[in-house]
Amino acid sequence: MRVAIWAPELTRSIEEPRPAGQPAANASANPAVQPKEEVLAEWELVRRAQQYDEDAIQAIYTTYYPKIYNYAFMQMGDVQAAEDLASDVMLKMIEAINTYKFQGLPFGAWVFRIARNRLIDLHRRRKRRGEVDLSETMSSALANPQVLAERALERGQIQVALKHLTPEQRQVIVLKFIEGFDNRSVGKILGRSEGAIKSLQHRALAALRRILQPDKI
Amino acid sequence: MFKRFSSVLDECLVALSRGDTVEQCLARYPRQARRLRPVLTLATRVQASPRVAPRVQAQEQSWRLVRERAHQLRTGSRRAATRTVVSAYGGLLKPAAVMLGAVLLVGSFSGGLAYASQDAMPDSPLYSVKLAGEDVRLWFVFDDTREAEILLDQSNQRVEEIRGMVSQGKTIPSNVLSDLHDRNERASDILAEKPQETGLRARILTQAQQQEDLLVALWPQVSDGARGTYTETVAFLHNTQLGGGSGAAVSAVRPEDLLGGILNISGQVQQLENGNWSIGGVEVNVDDRTIGNAALEAGASARFVVARSSNGRLQALSLIGGLLGSPDSGGSSAIVSGAIESITDEGITVGGTLYAFSSSTVRTQSFKTGQKVQITVQAGNAGNSPIVQSVKPAAVSGPSSAQVQAFTFEGTIEGDVSRSTNEWMIGGLEFQIADSTAVDATAGDAKDGARVQVEAINDGGDLQATRVSVLATDAPANEVSIIGKFEGFEDGVWIVAGLPIVPPDSIDDPELDALVSVETERVGNDLNATSLVVVETAEQEGLIRMQGTIKAIDGTRWTLEFGQVRVSSTAEVIGSEAGVGQRALMWSEPGVDGQLQAVYVRVLDDQSIVTSIIGNVTPTPEP
């Protein structure tokens, strides 16, 4: 069984945006940076939710259910499965919210970590049962991936274009460019280092670009 | 200061998220602007892509469940009460609970299911439990360097599992390759943030090389469903070496570059006018993605591991063992086929000779005494004993009723083969260049008119070349020879290894299932036999087939890479007069004194092939 752990060793401060053109600061050389205001404000909301304040829980739910649904749909391409996963994650979130400890990262990173773990569980269960991975089916069914992916992007159906990426590349694209997490948060969600996320996002964008028609991007 | 492209890209993406334009980012990095522009443009398009909204009804239904659960927790259900107690003692109990959980978790993985899974192989239902246990171990490692070391240990464990699967004759599934790739990638990611860890970097590089060497040798053992994972894994290992320890090399091999298989090509290298290189006459892309290419010089001879893409394009992955003839070239290799007399962890005995295993020996299944195998041995330099490179089941040469028959063919290449990597026309027959064919062109380029020996199998009419060797001989193009099982006389022709041969009136039919060597003259599409030698009758079966380079001749005693053979007057010797540096194919049997005694010898080359290639040769003694 996979267990979602938000372990103390994951405690790190988030990175302040750098001035334009300046290189990334070495983490060890920049150990203490303050969390953003919206992160702190959200932490106040979470503290109320930890007391089971219904308004706070509803605010969190209203914020994160659509995000998790969107994330799940981008990964699985299946409305029903995405709804089930979003609902499951919301239940897990409320049951475990008392274990959440603020570590300077957005609360969303913790929620998405739960979602990512549930997604892995789901894939494993499906694989054990011999079910066909929907994303693979969709990918292989596309007669001309380049053209269809390009059309999908034009129509805003990015999930179709994402089917051609590896699961990890898909996760990075969604978390980084659609959900707007910074590298550190994406790293925590996926259990990877910040450097790995930089490299992954490069590979993911390069792969996405390869399947699109170069003259249109 | 040099900056990796992924870092430059990341900085631009951060700037874009703060409101900078693509043009402003490009202005800061003019040298990378050409690469950056399309990627940044794509990123902005993805960011602008609308979200997928959930259905209102589903969201409301889910909310009712969450609100109900929150109510239960608020009003003190059993589970909520437990949490409240934990919460009340917050700072004291939470770490304790985490530790207790950790202990229980680790404990659960140290007993029961985890214990049962610790020796699980990739085809076991418990294998995923084993991998999960390894992940759990990493959760409690707080030092990045230590974590990378453990990841590399676990990656090596995957290699042992792959060896184990192969040694049992099983194909390699994707799960073990995928986990090998994942752990290597995670270790590389850690290293990317710790450039000061030189020891770790050295270990990753060494390990990547060893793992790539093994995996490229095991291409035929990869299951069809795992080919995609295999190519990703090998590409990553290769790029790790190119990138000096990280998987992100500037010039990288792509997984799709390997989808057509892995070939071994050796021969003289020449640079072509179009910038590509020719290796033994075959056009191959040799560039900064080729490991060891710095040592390359036009006119030198070398062995290469070459990746073939699905459309037949060849990309040299690495130069094996330096230039041929150099001290680190590893010497020439030879092939010995026969029944196993004994096999231990130290080595394998065939024909009374013990061939020693090394740590890199590849065994493709669990072999037993009496089983027929093909052993590739590499001559050691400076008088070292030959070592076994690989052991695999001998190519099929069973009863004539078998669907697949192995045979040896000698003929002349017809047409340009420099760019045709799938089929070659040789001696009037079309041979498929399979996804693991070896091409030995050290004696001359593979080109129109070149004389070659082909080791092949006839699979229901499909002729698949497993090895093509260019010979140093100028035999007429219409002369073709075949060595294979005699399968009978049908409709006026002999059938040898599934191939029709027109028999002369003057020669009687050999016994069914005898191994025969037939010299033929090609007339139109017909192969007309001019002579036939029975190498081995069906009852005699048990001779040792050996092919190698003659290193010394002392009277009747010939020395080749695999040892010494007595070639007395009773042996049937075909071809040119033998000399040092020429290659020979022979069938032998142990004599009464234990010395191998040749029964049939075919001298393949008319003259010594480049003597610098084969290393330590002893001059032919004066008569």
Evaluate if residue B612 carries a pLDDT over 60.
Answer: no
Evaluate if residue B524 carries a pLDDT over 60.
Answer: yes
* Listed residues A131, A157, A178: the one ending a domain: A131
Pair A83, A155 in one domain: no
* Listed residues A110, A131, A152: the one ending a domain: A131
Q: Considering the domain boundaries, does residue A30 fall inside one?
A: no
* Listed residues A66, A96, A131: the one ending a domain: A131
Pair A40, A126 in one domain: yes
Q: H-helix or E-strand containing B538?
A: none
Flag the least confident range among A3-17, B10-24, B433-447: A3-17
The reply to whether domains B262-323 and B333-394+542-614 share a CATH topology is yes
* B44-53, B142-151, B477-486, range with greatest mean pLDDT: B477-486
Residue holding tokens 């040299």? Answer: B316
Phi first, then psi: what are they for B52, rounded to 5°?
Answer: -95, 120
Domain holding A147, by residue range, is 143-217
> Which residues of chain B from 562 to 581 reach within 8 Å of chain A, CB to CB?
none
- Chain A residues whose CB is inside 8 A of the B62 CB are 65, 83, 86-87, 90
Record: contact B38-A18, CB cut-off 8 A: no
DSSP string, B3-63: --HHHHHHHHHHHHHTT--HHHHHHH-GGGHHHHHHHHHHHHHHHHSPPPPPPHHHHHHHH
Match domain B404-536 to its CATH number in 3.40.630.30, 2.40.50.320, 3.40.50.2300, 1.10.8.60: 2.40.50.320
Pair A91, A148 in one domain: no
- Chain A residues whose CB is inside 8 A of the B49 CB are 153, 156, 158, 178
Please tell me if residue B41 touches chain A, with a CB cutoff of 8 Å. yes
Record: contact A94-B42, CB cut-off 8 A: no
pLDDT at B272: 85
Pair A160, A211 in one domain: yes
Please tell me if residue A130 touches chain B, with a CB cutoff of 8 Å. no
Domain boundaries, chain B: 5-48, 74-105, 112-258, 262-323, 333-394+542-614, 404-536
Evaluate if residue B174 carries a pLDDT over 80.
Answer: yes
Q: Please state, in angstroms and rounded to a whole number, the distance separating the CA atoms of residues B21 and B415.
A: 56
The answer for residues whose C-beta is within 8 angstroms of residue A185's C-beta and 6 or more apart is A14, A105, A106, A108, A109, A175
Evaluate if residue B258 carries a pLDDT over 60.
Answer: yes
User: What CATH number should be reported for the domain holding residue A202?
Assistant: 1.10.10.10
Flag the least confident range among B11-15, B234-238, B328-332, B542-546: B328-332
| Among candidate residues B140, B124, B135, B237, the one with its CA nearest the CA of residue B176 | B124
Evaluate if residue B444 carries a pLDDT over 70.
Answer: yes
Q: Considering the domain boundaries, does residue A198 fall inside one?
A: yes
pLDDT at B491: 81
pLDDT digits (tens, 9 = 90+) for B372-412: 888 888 775 555 567 888 888 776 555 555 567 889 999 99
Question: How many CB atoms are closer than 10 A to CB B368?
Answer: 9
Q: Please state, in angstroms and rounded to a whole number, the distance separating the CA atoms of residues B210 and B58.
A: 53
Q: Which of B24, B46, B113 to mutate to test the interface with A (most CBs of A within 10 A)?
A: B46
Q: Please state, in angstroms and rounded to a whole number, the distance separating the CA atoms of residues A198 and A200.
A: 5
DSSP string, A84-138: HHHHHHHHHHHHHGGG----SS-HHHHHHHHHHHHHHHHHHHHHHTTPPPHHHHH
The answer for residues whose C-beta is within 8 angstroms of residue A26's C-beta and 6 or more apart is none
- Chain A residues whose CB is inside 8 A of the B87 CB are 50, 98
pLDDT at B142: 78
| Among candidate residues A154, A160, A157, the one with its CA nearest the CA of residue A142 | A160
pLDDT above 90: percentage of residues in chain B: 26
**pTM of the predicted structure, to 2 decimals:** 0.57
Q: Which residue of B has its CA nearest to A73?
A: B52
**B151: which 2 tokens?**
């990841």
Q: Please state, in angstroms and rounded to a whole number, the distance separating the CA atoms of residues B483 and A39.
A: 78
Flag the least confident range among A36-45, A162-171, B88-97: B88-97
> Which residues of chain A from 48 to 67 reach within 8 Å of chain B, CB to CB?
50, 52, 54, 57-58, 61, 65-66
Q: Considering the domain boundaries, does residue A191 fall inside one?
A: yes
pLDDT digits (tens, 9 = 90+) for B272-282: 877 788 999 99
CA dihedral B258→B259→B260→B261, nearest 10 degrees, is 60
Q: How far is CA B65 from CA A73, B58, B424, B568, in A?
A: 21, 11, 68, 91
Query: If pLDDT is split at 50, 70 and 90, which confidence band does B359 have?
Result: confident
Measured in whole angstroms, the distance separating CA B266 from the mean position of its chain's CA atoms is 15
- What is the domain count for chain A? 2
> Which residues of chain B from 96 to 155 reach within 8 Å of chain A, CB to CB?
98, 101, 105, 128, 132, 139, 142, 144
Query: If pLDDT is split at 50, 70 and 90, which confidence band does A214 have?
Result: very low
Q: How far is CA A141 from CA A138, B55, B85, in A?
A: 5, 26, 53
Q: Which residue of B has its CA nearest to A173?
A: B46
DSSP three-state, residue B153: helix
Q: Considering the domain boundaries, does residue A9 fall inside one?
A: no
Please tell me if residue B92 touches chain A, with a CB cutoff of 8 Å. no
> Which residues of chain A from 159 to 198 reach within 8 Å of chain B, CB to CB?
159, 173, 176-178, 180, 182-183, 192-196, 198
Evaluate if residue B225 carries a pLDDT over 70.
Answer: yes
Pair A169, A94 in one domain: no
Flag the least confident range among A7-21, B148-162, B327-341, B570-584: A7-21
Query: If pLDDT is split at 50, 70 and 90, which confidence band does A136 have?
Result: very low
Q: Which of A14, A26, A53, A57 to mutate to test the interface with B (most CBs of B within 10 A)?
A: A57
Indicate if ipTM > 0.85: no
Residue holding tokens 């196993």? Answer: B340
> Which residues of chain B from 383 to 412 reach within 8 Å of chain A, CB to CB?
none
Q: Considering the domain boundaries, does residue A4 fall inside one?
A: no
Q: Please state, in angstroms and rounded to a whole number, the distance separating the CA atoms of residues A146 and B17.
A: 27
The answer to whether the CB of B439 falls within 8 A of the CB of B446 is yes
DSSP three-state, residue B471: coil
pLDDT digits (tens, 9 = 90+) for B567-589: 988 889 988 889 988 999 999 98
Q: The domain B333-394+542-614: what is its CATH number?
A: 2.40.50.320
Query: If pLDDT is split at 50, 70 and 90, which confidence band does B79 have?
Result: very low
pLDDT at A17: 32
**B366: which 2 tokens?**
């669990």
Pair A156, A90 in one domain: no
- Chain B residues whose CB is inside 8 A of the A205 CB are 9, 39, 42-43
Q: What is the amino acid identity at position B75? A: T
Please tell me if residue B492 touches chain A, with a CB cutoff of 8 Å. no
DSSP three-state, residue B344: coil
Query: If pLDDT is split at 50, 70 and 90, which confidence band does A29 have?
Result: very low
pLDDT digits (tens, 9 = 90+) for A98-115: 888 888 888 999 999 999
Tell the CATH topology of B262-323.
OB fold (Dihydrolipoamide Acetyltransferase, E2P) (2.40.50)
Mean pLDDT over B159-176 rounds to 90
The answer for residues whose C-beta is within 8 angstroms of residue A141's C-beta and 6 or more apart is none
Q: Which residue of B has its CA nearest to A183?
A: B10
Please tell me if residue A19 touches chain B, with a CB cutoff of 8 Å. no
**Mean residue pLDDT across chain B:** 82
DSSP three-state, residue B522: strand
pLDDT at B177: 94
pLDDT digits (tens, 9 = 90+) for B103-123: 444 544 445 666 666 788 999
Q: Which of A54, A95, A213 to mutate to test the interface with B (most CBs of B within 10 A)?
A: A95
